[in-house]
Amino acid sequence: MKPQRLWRACLGLLIAVCVFPTATLATEIEFKNCQVKLNAVEIDAECGTLTRAENPDEPAGRQIDLFVAKFASRSAKPADDAFTMIQGGPGGSSIDMAIGMQQVLESIRAKRDVLVVDQRGTGRSNKLACPEMDNDEVFRFDPIIAAEYAKKCLAENSDSDPRFYTTSVAVQDLDAVREAAGYTQLTVYGVSYGTRVAQHYLRRFPEQTRAMIIDGVAHVGLNLAGGEIARQSQHSFDGMADRCSAEEHCRTRFGDIRAKFKAVRERLLAQPEKISLPHPQTGKMQTETVSEQNLYASVRMLPYSTEGIALMPLMISEAFDGNYIPITAQTLMMSESFTEGFAMGMQNSVICAEDYPFIEESDTQNLDDTYFGSTTIDGINVVCTHWPKGVMDDDFLKPFDSEKPVLILSGETDPITPASNGEIAANMFSNSKHIIVPAHGHGVI
């Protein structure tokens, strides 16, 4: 997995909740030949838009356009259902993911169309983007900076109402797109946060769902605003260190990875380092400040890919020897992907509505033994104090079952949605199959 794709990934008071009917009648989407583009890659497709009410309770109020891309089947008689995919984050573009996964989609297009919509607030569908942050601001938590950034992000999106960019509204959009595109059913694939959307779509529209694939599962009821990120990141780091210690070549080459990580962490806590390096994408020389947060970010995000976790002993060992270029180059690429590829406003709307209000005391326990500590909880608390609380269906956190076939995919070394999450989903869905891929990170497909 490319470093710039690592962020996809990415994961209190009871708010007033209700189930929203589809407020805007779906009309036929007028598809036209087009090319969808991601960086230097352009893919032929058929494109169209579907106009939806931003507030489902006000059909005559502000309207937003959902961007839809169709990749037609090669079959002379395609299946009645279309295959759709939902990106994670929250805040990632599903269409961008589809562009990067064309080889995977080729086998699917042999039998059925692929229909992908950028979820409201992401990609090409009224993206709730926030102002860019400096590399230091991205990876060094400061409550004052975090509060000001949340306010700036709201101001940047003042024309939109962040309350209506949540999962409960998005599944209504998805089914309206299905109807407007003329399909009887959808076969739904979701990855990471996208598994949350996929499961809620199945809950809301069981008859319109042919089958579901959830990959890197955020199971129903999982809270991503508490200590989950810190605990899972620490678990992933410990697994990497244990495997290196048990493997002779890794142990001989890199020594005690835990001890080296601790030494680098303490060194950077005491005194951040300033270094000069060529930008990993432009080659332009620049000066960066390396803090312990850069170290944490690299250690957290590298295990998302199978290749990345293999590089961690080398990166930590190099930093121990005083070479901070690998860490800094990694965080430069991640910070740019973070600000460019993900709609942080939409992510705030989801987390602050669906996770933050339901943090329990147990979510904040046992964080002192993690390298992250309470940093992620502190950051979310600051942002959600300022962010408007969005809408959520009243049964959103309740387990449910379905007779529809469910394929569950997990990576053995996934640092954020471990195989145990997939097992919880497998126990909830009676007609399911759970596959765990050995030595694989986040996103099996």
pLDDT tens-digit readout, 102-130: 999 999 999 999 999 999 999 999 999 99
pLDDT band at 143 (very low <50, low <70, confident <90, very high): confident
Please give the average per-residue pLDDT across 308-334, as a whole number: 93
* Assigned token pair, 188: 């739904």
Q: Tell me what pLDDT residue 146 has.
A: 85
Specify the residue for token string 């493997």.
Answer: 247
Q: Tell me what pLDDT residue 22 has.
A: 42
* Assigned token pair, 93: 């573009």
Q: Would you tell me how many other CB atoms lie within 10 Å of the CB of residue 339?
A: 18
Helices (H), 39-166: 94-100, 102-109, 135-139, 143-156
Phi, psi of 409 (to 5 degrees): -120, 135
Please give the average per-residue pLDDT across 16-30, as a whole number: 53
pLDDT tens-digit readout, 60-105: 999 999 999 999 999 999 999 999 999 999 999 999 999 999 999 9
Q: Would you tell me how many other CB atoms lie within 10 Å of the CB of residue 246?
A: 9
pLDDT band at 234 (very low <50, low <70, confident <90, very high): very high
Please give the average per-residue pLDDT across 230-252, as a whole number: 94
Share of the chain above pLDDT 90, in %: 75
Please give the average per-residue pLDDT across 145-150, as a whole number: 89
pLDDT band at 382 (very low <50, low <70, confident <90, very high): very high
Total-model pTM: 0.91
Strand, coil or helix: 160: coil
Strand, coil or helix: 116: strand
Specify the residue for token string 């600051």.
Answer: 382
C-alpha 288/C-alpha 333 separation (Å) is 13
Has residue 15 got a pLDDT over 80? no
